Amino acid sequence: MDAYVHTDLRRGPLEKDFLGGPNAPNQSMKILLAKLNHLGDTLLMTPTIRFLREKYPDARIDVLVRAGCEAMLSGNPDVSNVIPVARPEKAKRTLAAGLSEFTNTFAKLFLRRYDYAFDLSDSDRSKLWMLLSAAKVRGVNDAYETLGNKRWMVNRISKFKWGREHQVLKDFQTVLDCTGLTGEVGPLRFYPQVDAGSISKKLPFVSDIGNYTIVHPTSRWPFKQWLPERWAEIADTIRRNHKLKVVFSCGPDQREIDTVAEIFQHTKEEHFSTDGRINLNEFGWLLARAKLFLGVDTVAMHLAAAMQTPIVTLFGPSQEWSWRPWQAPNEIVFGDCPCKVAMVFKCDKTKVYPCMERITVNDVVAATGRMLRLATADSKH
């Protein structure tokens, strides 16, 4: 078997009462969530933040993130304050700059006297910041007993076994276990703060593009990508068969821009590209108006889920149980991956993996057609 698909048409509730827990503290709560990973990881934390905001409407909910991830929470009404900390690469900072950042962050955290602090990134740095916050309750997940000699840094532990669960559930259940609350987890949330006019200046074609599909073929991990000529054929098929314009999106990294340019060398129809010119908020705005998102396992896919845009995504080595689109209509096209079954990856990470090459154009054309038909039917009800 070379490729197979999984379809999920469930949508996340836009507003729902997730409250519960008989031992809930008072409303003047101060909570810190620490997640020092990447953009997508920050977005996957938003259902947990929303749950806490619903539970404690008057609480101070601060989020400690890796510098560069702040934009994912900009405009989010559930967040009181975003605290960025620089990446750990020593070459990018002087000693003085590092000490200054440490002092400022320590002062912010320590003086706020949090009631709860949670390390959701499983990193030593976030555990250290959580400890320095002097929070009364410091919670982590240690289902697989990896804390070791860092056990003294925390005083509340979740034993939720997340290995075959979605990352959203890992965050959510860790907080529930450490607080004694109960409830249901909701969808991802992103709130684009955008002036449509600014997008039109960057992407003039947007003003009169009509109905369109977003195709996001790039990833910071080359092995997750697909072949350029196949993306080109898919885009041409969508344009001809579904009468939709196709907008290729990519990040500002030159490698991603070059990847899209290579795809365009194989296309026969007219298509458009963001050329890495738009920011995260503008991309969210563009996704919210798209008829379909087509891409690979990357932050763009999770952002499409947050905007409730129907999704077709290509998975090879990615663990779908952890990273699939969360609570949004989607169809996953899988490339058969023996390495994933064995959990031993031996392929060259600088190239497209063989499992991704096993996904054919016909597989993706069929999935795209099904999702567009279902999305059209859904919009009529």
Element containing residue 158 per DSSP (H, E): strand 156-158
Per-residue pLDDT of the chain (381 residues; tens, 9 = 90+): 566 566 666 565 433 333 333 344 445 899 999 999 999 999 999 999 999 999 999 999 999 999 999 999 999 999 999 999 987 665 566 777 778 888 888 888 998 999 999 999 989 999 999 999 999 999 999 999 999 999 999 999 999 999 999 999 999 999 999 999 999 999 999 999 998 888 999 999 998 899 999 999 999 888 889 999 999 999 999 999 999 999 999 999 999 999 999 999 999 999 999 999 999 999 999 999 999 999 999 999 999 999 999 999 999 888 899 999 999 999 999 988 877 777 777 787 788 888 888 999 999 999 999 999 988 777 665
Distance CA(82)–CA(72), nearest Å, equals 10
CA–CA gap between residue 325 and residue 8 (Å, rounded): 9
Decide if 333 contacts 2 (C-beta within 8 A).
no
CA distance 55 to 275: 41
Reading the block at residue 228, the tokens are 């350029």
Do the beta carbons of residue 13 and residue 186 sit within 8 Å?
yes
- The pTM assigned to this predicted structure is 0.90
Which pLDDT belongs to residue 291?
96
pLDDT of 15:
36
Rounded to an integer, what distance in angstroms lies between the CA atom of residue 323 and that of residue 263?
A: 26
**pLDDT attached to residue 198:** 86
Q: Tell me, what's the pLDDT at 349?
A: 77
Q: CB count, 10 Å around CB of 2?
A: 12
For the chain, list the domains and their CATH numbers: 17-179 (3.40.50.2000), 194-379 (3.40.50.2000)
Q: How many CB atoms lie within 10 A of CB 252?
A: 12
C-alpha Rg value of the chain to the nearest Å:
22
Integer CA distances (angstroms), 325 to 21, 32, 43, 166, in order = 28, 26, 12, 10
Amino acid type, 321? W
Q: How many residues does the chain have?
A: 381
135 phi, psi to nearest 5 deg: -60, 145
Cα gap 152→261, rounded to integer Å: 52
Mind listing the pLDDT tens digit for each residue in 279-322? 999 999 999 999 999 999 999 999 999 999 999 999 988 889 99
pLDDT of amino acid 1: 58
Backbone φ and ψ for 215, nearest 5 degrees, come out as -115, 120
